[in-house]
Amino acid sequence: MIERETIASDGEITLKEAIAMGFVRAKEWNVNATLTSVNSVDETMAGSRGGSGKRFKWFLQFMAPGTDEHLLIGISEKKITVFKPIKQSQVPIIAYDEIKLDSSDILQLA
């Protein structure tokens, strides 16, 4: 078995940190922006690879309720590197205040 390094590198952030960063930019795009999805894939970047609850890269999607306006935000090493407005049909939202645990908390529970 290969042991994974679980100490977070400087450029990694948690799920909630990524969402908070994305919300700041999304609210500039549309004051009513709501979160619809979040994911992370950075297995080739070393670091903790999520073992600490932190990742280098996060992708978030927001929408303006009642419209077909969506926004894709990419975060890499604590910087917004993708800002792409798109058109898409309405999808369920994720209410930020309903996210009780951060990615690092979930790892501790697991």
Flag whether the pTM goes above 0.75: no
Q: What is the pLDDT of residue 95?
A: 74
What one-character DSSP code corresponds to residue 31? Answer: T
Tens-of-pLDDT digits for all 110 residues of the chain?
334 445 556 888 998 999 999 999 999 999 999 999 999 876 665 555 666 778 889 999 999 999 999 999 999 989 999 999 999 887 777 777 777 777 777 777 76
**Cα separation, 75 vs 18, whole angstroms:** 7
What's 65's DSSP letter? T
Cβ atoms < 10 Å from Cβ of 60:
26
